[in-house]
Amino acid sequence: MKAFHAGKFEIGRLGCKVFFLLSGLLAGLFFSAPIQASDYLVGPQDKLNIEVVEWRANTASIFEWSPLTGEFTVSTSGNLTLPILGSLPVAEKTVEQISAQISEGLQKIVGLQKPPSASVEVSEYRPFFVGGLVSKPGKYDYFPGLTVLQALSIAGGYARPVDRDAMGIQREVLSSRGTLRQLQAERLSLLARNARLEAVIRGEPEISFPEEITSQSHKPEIRQILKEEQQIFTATQKAMEAEINSLSRNMSYAADHTEVLKSKQETLEKQATLADDELGKISGLVSKGLTVSTRQFGAEQFVSELQTRQLDVAMALITTQQAVAMAEYKIEDVQEKYRLEAQIQQTEVRDRLTSVAAGIQTTRALIQNIELYAPEAAASAGFDTGTEFTMMIIRNVNGEIQRFSVDELSTVLPGDVVQVERKDDG
């Protein structure tokens, strides 16, 4: 699926239709996709491939905006972070709307006469999951217009005794538990990193790790996480202090130089006053014919020399005062630079924490489903062709996990868990 703003064309719709047709054949039925690829609404964790180009008539050439060209991932908050444009809200928008948003935004920010051409396509959809009494439960790539029946066909259809042996179930549980442990370890590492960044932002001398981590500090892996974050924090503090100390030394030198120049300025002012008095006396004697004019000329030269030296000192004093002010500004700028870098990293950490939390929740649900329904799947040898199944979708709706019954023609959304269960006889 690809949308190109300014050119108004799309690529990839035919491929999606062929994919839908093949999925229908696997299930034994023909389907027409409920929604077209161009109607797909982008959401968190989708990966978008973006190309931005501009036709420049003065050189008769196409200019590529390389910083805006490449693959970008939609954050868990539904935003797309791009160079130049910053953070753009793209959740619940089509690729055509996003391409127009990029094109018009770049024109406005850069001040282009015409909007550039922005091409946007979904290179990778966020997955959906199938669990319960199916032949191949797990995570699958999503495509627009996916129905429950198509999801079941992708997962191999309803489970039969030959498809679910004890060893296969054990492998699934072990794999899911391994994934869960990895996600939990990553979450603790992210929490420790967030605590370090918070200490930098607040200017704290020490890191205040959350109780959730410190209570597990007896574990070797947790001790290693805390040690690494403390080492990074110490290195950051030393680097910042080194920059500040260097600037402070420069400021101190400039301040000392300022005092020396002020003292020199006072001395020159006194000398200038005395020289003016002396010149006045000599001028009086010359006017009375009591001394030669050459003496007056020498006195005038000395006064002129003192005035020149006073100007030199005044200029040097201004320069050193500027150096002091600049050093003070740079000291504040160094501290702000480290805080800003920490804030940017903290935003990325929090986005990843949200993503990891969702992954933990989904993996736990899959493990619970496997553990809950494995005994029934093992006993499914008694199933006959008349066995009936019921299907449910587990969906995150505005941050709340909801379960609701569906039929085979219901639409599956990205991130959904399609759960297949045996229908009770009663």
Q: Which of 3, 9, 78, 68 is nearest to 40 (CA)?
A: 3
Give the pLDDT score at 28.
Answer: 36
Give the pLDDT score at 286.
Answer: 66
Strands 128-132 and 79-82: unpaired
Q: Binning pLDDT at 50, 70 and 90, where does residue 387 land?
A: low
Give the pLDDT score at 302.
Answer: 73
Is the pLDDT assigned to residue 372 strictly greater than 80? no
Is the pLDDT assigned to residue 184 strictly greater than 70? yes
Is the pLDDT assigned to residue 426 strictly greater than 60? no
Highest average pLDDT, of 19-33, 132-146, 149-163, comes from 132-146
Length reported for the chain = 426
Give the pLDDT score at 13.
Answer: 36
The pLDDT tens digits for 189-247 are 999 999 999 998 888 889 999 998 899 889 898 999 999 999 999 888 888 888 877 77
Higher pLDDT, 377 or 219: 219
Q: Binning pLDDT at 50, 70 and 90, where does residue 393 land?
A: very high
Q: How far apart are CA 152 and CA 137, in angstroms?
A: 9
Give the pLDDT score at 377.
Answer: 44
Residues 2/99, Cβ–Cβ less than 8 Å:
no
Please list, in sequence order, all residues whose beta carbon lies within 8 angstroms of the beta carbon of residue 2, skipping any fewer than 6 positions away. Answer: 10, 11, 12, 49, 95, 119, 120, 121
Residues 306/276, Cβ–Cβ less than 8 Å:
no
How buried is residue 230: exposed, middle or buried, by Cβ count under 10 Å (0-12/13-18/19+)?
Answer: middle
Higher pLDDT, 188 or 370: 188
Three-class secondary structure of residue 6 per DSSP: coil
Is the pLDDT assigned to residue 136 strictly greater than 90? no
Higher pLDDT, 111 or 320: 111
Is the pLDDT assigned to residue 1 strictly greater than 70? no
The pLDDT tens digits for 40-53 are 788 888 899 999 99
Is the pLDDT assigned to residue 30 strictly greater than 50? no
Residue range 268-278: mean pLDDT, rounded: 75
Give the pLDDT score at 11.
Answer: 33
Give the pLDDT score at 424.
Answer: 64
Percentage of the chain beyond pLDDT 90 is 27
Q: What is the largest CA-CA distance in the chain?
A: 141
Residues 50/72, Cβ–Cβ less than 8 Å:
yes
Percentage of the chain beyond pLDDT 70 is 81
Give the pLDDT score at 351.
Answer: 92
Residue at 367: amino acid letter? I
Is the pLDDT assigned to residue 406 strictly greater than 90? yes
Residues 134/155, Cβ–Cβ less than 8 Å:
yes
Is the pLDDT assigned to residue 383 strictly greater than 60? no
Q: Which of 103, 119, 116, 143 is nearest to 2 (CA)?
A: 119
Residue range 108-121: mean pLDDT, rounded: 89
Give the pLDDT score at 51.
Answer: 93
Q: Phi and psi dihedrals of 37, rounded to 5?
A: -60, -35
Within 10 A of 280 (CB to CB), how many other CB atoms are there?
10
Q: How far apart are CA 247 and CA 353, in angstroms?
A: 38
Higher pLDDT, 122 or 399: 122
Angstrom distances, CA of residue 132 to CA of 235, 373, 377? 50, 6, 9
Give the pLDDT score at 160.
Answer: 63
Is the pLDDT assigned to residue 307 strictly greater than 50? yes
List, in order of start, the domains of the chain with CATH numbers: 1-125 (3.30.1950.10), 127-160+383-426 (3.10.560.10), 164-379 (1.10.287)
Residue range 29-47: mean pLDDT, rounded: 62
Give the pLDDT score at 9.
Answer: 35
Residues 365/130, Cβ–Cβ less than 8 Å:
no
Buried b (16+ CB within 10 A) or exposed e, 390-403: ebbbbbbeeeeeee
**Dihedral over alpha carbons 201, 203, 206, 212 (to 10 degrees):** -30
Residue range 345-371: mean pLDDT, rounded: 87
- How does the average pLDDT of the chain come out, rounded? 78
